[in-house]
Protein backbone atom coordinates (compact mmCIF):
# COMPACT_ATOMS: atom_id res chain seq x y z
CA UNK A 1 0.00 0.00 0.00
CA UNK A 2 1.40 3.38 -0.99
CA UNK A 3 0.97 6.35 1.30
CA UNK A 4 -0.30 9.55 -0.21
CA UNK A 5 1.58 12.76 0.36
CA UNK A 6 -0.96 13.92 2.93
CA UNK A 7 -0.91 10.69 4.95
CA UNK A 8 2.85 10.29 4.73
CA UNK A 9 3.37 13.69 6.34
CA UNK A 10 0.34 13.69 8.62
CA UNK A 11 1.25 14.57 12.20
CA UNK A 12 0.89 11.98 14.89
CA UNK A 13 -1.89 12.73 17.34
CA UNK A 14 -0.46 14.08 20.58
CA UNK A 15 -1.30 16.61 23.27
CA UNK A 16 -0.11 19.53 21.14
CA UNK A 17 -2.19 18.47 18.12
CA UNK A 18 -5.21 18.01 20.37
CA UNK A 19 -4.70 21.43 21.94
CA UNK A 20 -4.27 23.15 18.57
CA UNK A 21 -7.47 21.56 17.25
CA UNK A 22 -9.36 22.46 20.42
CA UNK A 23 -8.29 26.09 20.40
CA UNK A 24 -8.91 26.48 16.66
CA UNK A 25 -12.47 25.19 17.03
CA UNK A 26 -13.02 27.13 20.24
CA UNK A 27 -11.80 30.29 18.54
CA UNK A 28 -14.50 29.87 15.90
CA UNK A 29 -17.16 29.33 18.57
CA UNK A 30 -15.96 32.27 20.69
CA UNK A 31 -16.17 34.54 17.64
CA UNK A 32 -19.83 33.57 17.20
CA UNK A 33 -20.54 33.85 20.94
CA UNK A 34 -19.04 37.35 21.08
CA UNK A 35 -21.62 38.50 18.51
CA UNK A 36 -24.29 37.26 20.92
CA UNK A 37 -22.70 38.90 23.97
CA UNK A 38 -21.80 35.74 25.88
CA UNK A 39 -18.60 33.96 26.81
CA UNK A 40 -17.59 30.37 26.22
CA UNK A 41 -18.13 29.50 29.89
CA UNK A 42 -21.55 31.16 29.88
CA UNK A 43 -22.54 29.18 26.79
CA UNK A 44 -21.39 25.86 28.28
CA UNK A 45 -23.28 26.60 31.51
CA UNK A 46 -26.43 27.80 29.77
CA UNK A 47 -26.38 24.80 27.41
CA UNK A 48 -26.20 22.49 30.45
CA UNK A 49 -29.36 24.10 31.82
CA UNK A 50 -31.15 24.11 28.46
CA UNK A 51 -30.39 20.48 27.64
CA UNK A 52 -31.09 19.04 31.10
CA UNK A 53 -33.94 16.55 31.30
CA UNK A 54 -35.20 18.14 34.51
CA UNK A 55 -34.73 21.48 36.28
CA UNK A 56 -31.29 21.76 37.84
CA UNK A 57 -30.18 23.26 41.12
CA UNK A 58 -27.16 25.53 41.09
CA UNK A 59 -25.19 22.67 42.69
CA UNK A 60 -26.28 20.33 39.86
CA UNK A 61 -25.09 22.82 37.25
CA UNK A 62 -21.83 23.47 39.08
CA UNK A 63 -21.12 19.73 39.15
CA UNK A 64 -21.97 19.25 35.48
CA UNK A 65 -20.02 22.27 34.23
CA UNK A 66 -17.07 21.46 36.47
CA UNK A 67 -16.95 18.02 34.88
CA UNK A 68 -16.84 19.62 31.45
CA UNK A 69 -14.60 22.65 31.98
CA UNK A 70 -12.45 21.50 34.93
CA UNK A 71 -12.80 24.87 36.61
CA UNK A 72 -13.55 25.75 40.20
CA UNK A 73 -17.02 25.99 41.75
CA UNK A 74 -16.60 29.69 42.59
CA UNK A 75 -15.95 30.54 38.94
CA UNK A 76 -18.97 28.52 37.81
CA UNK A 77 -21.19 30.16 40.45
CA UNK A 78 -20.03 33.55 39.17
CA UNK A 79 -21.04 32.44 35.66
CA UNK A 80 -24.46 31.39 36.97
CA UNK A 81 -24.83 34.86 38.52
CA UNK A 82 -23.92 36.42 35.16
CA UNK A 83 -26.54 34.33 33.37
CA UNK A 84 -29.13 35.30 35.98
CA UNK A 85 -28.21 38.99 35.56
CA UNK A 86 -28.54 38.67 31.77
CA UNK A 87 -31.94 37.04 32.35
CA UNK A 88 -30.88 33.92 30.45
CA UNK A 89 -31.54 31.85 33.57
CA UNK A 90 -34.10 32.46 36.28
CA UNK A 91 -34.32 31.22 39.84
CA UNK A 92 -37.39 29.10 40.53
CA UNK A 93 -37.13 28.09 44.16
CA UNK A 94 -34.05 25.90 44.48
CA UNK A 95 -33.84 25.40 40.72
CA UNK A 96 -32.40 27.45 37.91
CA UNK A 97 -34.36 27.36 34.68
CA UNK A 98 -33.43 28.73 31.28
CA UNK A 99 -35.60 31.62 30.17
CA UNK A 100 -37.12 31.82 26.70
CA UNK A 101 -34.29 34.24 25.87
CA UNK A 102 -31.75 31.69 27.11
CA UNK A 103 -33.28 28.92 24.99
CA UNK A 104 -33.46 31.22 21.97
CA UNK A 105 -29.81 32.18 22.41
CA UNK A 106 -28.66 28.55 22.49
CA UNK A 107 -30.78 27.84 19.41
CA UNK A 108 -29.39 30.88 17.56
CA UNK A 109 -25.79 29.92 18.37
CA UNK A 110 -26.48 26.38 17.19
CA UNK A 111 -28.01 27.62 13.94
CA UNK A 112 -25.07 29.92 13.33
CA UNK A 113 -22.38 27.38 14.16
CA UNK A 114 -24.08 24.45 12.39
CA UNK A 115 -22.89 25.33 8.87
CA UNK A 116 -19.41 26.17 10.16
CA UNK A 117 -19.22 22.85 11.98
CA UNK A 118 -20.32 21.07 8.81
CA UNK A 119 -17.51 22.75 6.86
CA UNK A 120 -14.94 21.87 9.52
CA UNK A 121 -15.97 18.22 9.95
CA UNK A 122 -17.41 17.56 6.50
CA UNK A 123 -15.74 15.19 4.07
CA UNK A 124 -13.76 13.28 6.67
CA UNK A 125 -13.96 9.51 6.23
CA UNK A 126 -16.27 7.82 8.74
CA UNK A 127 -13.49 5.41 9.75
CA UNK A 128 -11.16 8.30 10.56
CA UNK A 129 -13.84 9.98 12.65
CA UNK A 130 -14.56 6.72 14.48
CA UNK A 131 -10.86 6.18 15.21
CA UNK A 132 -10.46 9.78 16.37
CA UNK A 133 -13.52 9.41 18.59
CA UNK A 134 -12.08 6.31 20.24
CA UNK A 135 -8.72 8.00 20.82
CA UNK A 136 -10.30 11.17 22.20
CA UNK A 137 -12.56 9.17 24.54
CA UNK A 138 -9.52 7.28 25.88
CA UNK A 139 -7.48 10.48 26.27
CA UNK A 140 -10.40 12.08 28.15
CA UNK A 141 -10.77 9.06 30.43
CA UNK A 142 -7.06 8.96 31.22
CA UNK A 143 -6.75 12.71 31.72
CA UNK A 144 -9.77 12.70 34.04
CA UNK A 145 -8.17 9.90 36.06
CA UNK A 146 -4.87 11.84 36.29
CA UNK A 147 -6.70 15.00 37.34
CA UNK A 148 -8.62 13.06 40.00
CA UNK A 149 -5.34 11.67 41.35
CA UNK A 150 -3.77 15.12 41.41
CA UNK A 151 -6.70 16.69 43.25
CA UNK A 152 -7.39 13.83 45.68
Let me know whether 51 and 88 are in one domain: yes
Domain count, the chain: 2
pLDDT (tens digit, 9 = 90+) per residue, 74-108? 999 999 999 999 999 999 999 999 999 999 999 99
The answer to the question of residue 7 being in a domain is no
Distance CA 102, CA 42 (A): 11
Let me know whether 85 and 66 are in one domain: yes
Distance CA 94, CA 142 (A): 35
Beta carbons within 10 angstroms of residue 24's beta carbon? 10
The answer to the question of residue 11 being in a domain is no
The answer to the question of residue 52 being in a domain is yes
Residue 108: its pLDDT value, please?
A: 98
The answer to the question of residue 13 being in a domain is no
Q: What is the pTM of this model?
A: 0.86
Residue 85: its pLDDT value, please?
A: 98
> Which residues, 6 or more positions from 24, have their beta carbon under 8 angstroms from its beta carbon?
none
Confidence of residue 10 (pLDDT cuts 50, 70, 90): confident
Domain of 140, in residue numbers: 123-152
The answer to the question of residue 6 being in a domain is no
Amino acid sequence: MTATASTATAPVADARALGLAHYAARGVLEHVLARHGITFQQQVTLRAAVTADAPQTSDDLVTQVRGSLKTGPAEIRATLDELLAKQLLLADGAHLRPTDAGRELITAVGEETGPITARIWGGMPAGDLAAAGRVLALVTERANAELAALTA
